[in-house]
Amino acid sequence: MKLLNVLPVLGCGLAVLPACTQEKKTQERPNILFILSDDHSRAAISAYGGFNAKLAPTPNIDAIGADGAIMNNMLCTNSISGPSRACLLTGKYSTTNGFYQNEGGIVFDNTQQQYQKILQANGYTTALFGKWHLFTEPKGFDHYMIHSDKSQQGTYWDPVFDSDGKKFKAKGYATTLVADSALQWLDKTKDNGKPFCMMLHFKAPHRPWQPDSCYLNLFDDVEFPYPETFNDDYAGREKTLGESMATIENHLSRGDLKQTPPANLKGKERNKWLWWGGSGKDQFWTPDPKLKGQELKNWKFQTYIKNYLRVVRSVDDQVGRVIKYLKDNNLYDNTIIVYMGDQGFFLGEHGLYDKRWMYEEAIQMPCLISYPNGIKKGLHPDELTLNVDIAPTLLDFAGIEVPQDMQGESMKGILTGDEVAKKDWRKSAYYQYFEYPKWHNVQPHYGVRTDRYKLIHFYYNIDEWELYDLEKDPKEMKNVYNDPAYADVVKELKAEIVKLQKQYGDDQTLEQRRELTDRYMLKYDE
């Protein structure tokens, strides 16, 4: 079944949808709408505040949190797209579900248990639209339409889709096209007598941050503020952050900065000019050779952040369309809506873009949840919640027993005000990251996060520990691992890491961890 380009569209991606004229009986079991955006930073959602909130509001995404909960500490367990998606589906850590990095030829095992499979087996109609990025055929869906290209990243314009195994090329902007198809599917299935679970996965705002044509000049007259840590010199973190290849100053390409290639360049030569034409400190792409030093770095940031937020604007538009459809068709009150980014993302903090690190900007996932029939408005939970908690939570709300092998915990108690559940909630969160060196030269690492402290171990070809006191240093600018005043804290957190590694099946030796990196390593071209 191919669903696309049927609904008339007004303005920038706003379609006219038929209103439901009949009263729909409230279903006993909730519908589920899970919206996932790729690389959506909390700093680009106005409900979370931050330096972009007033200049680039996201009213439709914000509305989800206003009608329910804005999760203050939703953490990613492996901050990279494919692995995080696998964690969301399975409720298991990367080392358990087997998909722990994007590169290296790893394929997600689609035979394993996933929450949509369980929902489907229990009478739900299921569908997936947009980005998949697990290098295998989706299972447990009555219908799917996913981005189909070698990397499964998809393109912003005229994307190729795989619809239930049949590929086709669509005309238009991907964010709008995906929402179009999702809404048409809802319109066809809403009266089938079954609750639905629909996953709406936008490619946006992933690199290369290509806005819809109607937003090309949005923010032209705006100068966005610079994050407090924009000019971080990486003191005390020279071997970790200092070796990153994801800095705004040195590692954005001509394509990222929307430079126009010479007219005589075609094919591979054109792509090389745009994306591979330099590296490291040679990569000072600018339309004005007079721009130097801090002024050039500032120009790169403004170019990057404006295109990123233009892309986010389209996502917010489409979220608004979907919410309006649910309300117009009397489906809203009985639908759990979850809006998430697949991990955090740097928007200039520490001078970076991208994700991967265990630092706050990368692991803090935006997560807003509404369910008028089951969640009170205005919640701001501070508990340490994880992406592996999503699957058991949705199953729990659907009245389905959570499989014992899921490593996440149901957040239902937290979202419904169960004081016992809140009291007994986890006090620490474990993190793991594996992919190296492509694409950004981030060392493999693991660590633990509590409400106050964070301890990280970088282990591949270095042996570096970092400790942050988040109460005194919330921006993570000072590594206090070697400070004698924190010796007892280090001892306690190392013991906690050992406990969590055993709990989550990641109790490997350093040699085994390094061998794993070697096995799936994808190196930069010489």
Question: What CATH number does the domain containing 469 carry?
Answer: 3.30.1120.10
Cis peptide before 392 (omega within 30 of 0): no
Residue 18 belongs to a domain? no
Instruction: Clarify whether residues 433 and 408 are in a common domain.
Output: no
Position 344 in a domain: yes
Look up tokens 């700093």; give the residue: 43
Query: Residues for the chain: how many in total?
Result: 526
Q: Does the bond joining 205 to the residue before it have cis omega, within 30 degrees of 0?
A: yes
Question: Which amino acid is residue 130, in one-letter code?
Answer: G
Give me the percent of the chain exceeding a pLDDT of 90. Answer: 84
Question: What's the burial of 282, exposed, middle or buried (CB within 10 Å: 0-12/13-18/19+)?
Answer: exposed
pLDDT at 16 over 50: no
pLDDT number for residue 1: 44
3-state class (DSSP) for residue 369: strand
Q: Do residue 467 and residue 483 come from a single domain?
A: yes
The pLDDT of residue 284: 54
Alpha-carbon separation of residue 465 from 246, 443, 457 (angstroms) = 21, 12, 5
CA–CA separation, 176 and 12 (whole Å): 9
- Is 90 exceeded by the pLDDT of residue 522? no
The reply to whether 266 falls in a domain is: no
Cβ atoms of residues 283 and 253 within 8 Å: yes
The pLDDT of 100-121, averaged and rounded, is 95
C-alpha closest to that of 145 among 125, 157, 158, 160: 160
Residue from 13, 370, 5, 325 nearest 190 by CA: 325
pLDDT digits (tens, 9 = 90+) for 508-518: 999 999 999 99
Which tens digit of pLDDT belongs to each residue from 17-62?
333 323 334 448 999 999 999 999 999 999 999 878 999 999 999 9
Same domain, 414 and 495: no
Where does a domain end: 389, 422, 455?
422
Question: What are the tens digits of pLDDT across the range 164-197?
Answer: 999 999 999 999 999 999 999 999 999 999 999 9
Number of CB atoms found within 10 A of residue 320's CB: 18
Amino acid at 449: R
Query: Cα angle at 46 between 44 and 51, to 5 degrees?
Result: 65
- Residue 332 has φ and ψ, to the nearest 5°, of -65, -50
Residue 342 lies in a domain: yes
Same domain for 123 and 200?
Answer: yes
Domain termination residue (choose one: 402, 422, 442):
422
User: 319 and 358 share a domain?
Assistant: yes
For the purposes of burial, counting CB atoms within 10 Å of the CB of 228, is it exposed (0-12), middle (13-18) or buried (19 or more)? middle
The alpha carbon of residue 16 and the mean position of all alpha carbons in its chain are separated, in whole angstroms, by 29
437 and 411 inside one domain: no
pLDDT in tens, 406-419: 999 999 999 999 99
Q: Is residue 48 part of a domain?
A: yes
pLDDT at 475 over 90: yes
pLDDT over 70 (residue 7): no
pLDDT for 15 beyond 60: no
The range of the structural domain enclosing residue 446 comes to: 429-520
- Supply the mean pLDDT for the chain: 92
Position 224 confidence tier, pLDDT thresholds 50, 70, 90: very high
Query: Within a 13 Å sphere around the CA of 332, how many CA atoms are in the beta-carbon half?
Result: 16
Find the Cα–Cα–Cα–Cα dihedral 5, 8, 13, 19, rounded to 10°. Answer: -110
- What is d(CA 426, CA 421) in angstroms, rounded to the nearest whole number? 10
Give residue 277's pLDDT.
54
Q: Is 429 helix (H, G, I), strand (E, B) or coil?
A: strand
Residues 322 and 445 in one domain: no
Give the sign of the dihedral formed by CA 82, CA 204, CA 253, CA 265.
Answer: positive
What does the pLDDT read at residue 266? Answer: 93
Whether 144 contacts 163, CB under 8 Å: yes
Assess whether 310 and 412 both reside in one domain.
yes
Which 3 state secondary structure label does DSSP give 445? strand
pLDDT of residue 153: 87
Q: Pick the last residue of a domain from 394, 422, 450.
A: 422
Q: Is the pTM of this model over 0.85?
A: yes
Distance CA 199, CA 481 (A): 42
Give me the mean pLDDT over the 60-86 stretch. 98
- The number of distinct structural domains making up the chain is 2
pLDDT band at 525 (very low <50, low <70, confident <90, very high): low
For residues 175 and 47, membership in a common domain is answered with yes
* pLDDT at residue 216 is higher than 90: yes
The reported pLDDT for the residue numbered 201 is 98
Decide if 20 is inside a domain.
no
My answer on whether 410 and 438 are in the same domain is: no
pLDDT tens-place string over residues 281-329? 445 567 788 888 999 999 999 999 999 999 999 999 999 999 999 999 9
Q: Do 59 and 38 have their domain in common?
A: yes
> What does the pLDDT read at residue 105?
86
pLDDT of residue 416: 96
Measured in whole angstroms, the distance separating CA 321 from the mean position of its chain's CA atoms is: 21
Contact between 326 and 335 under an 8 Å Cβ cutoff? The reply is: yes
Task: Supply the CATH number for residue 198's domain.
Answer: 3.40.720.10
Domain assignment present for residue 22? The answer is no
Tell whether 206 and 63 lie within a shared domain.
Answer: yes
Band (150; pLDDT cuts 50, 70, 90): confident
Looking at the domain assignment, is residue 526 inside a domain? no
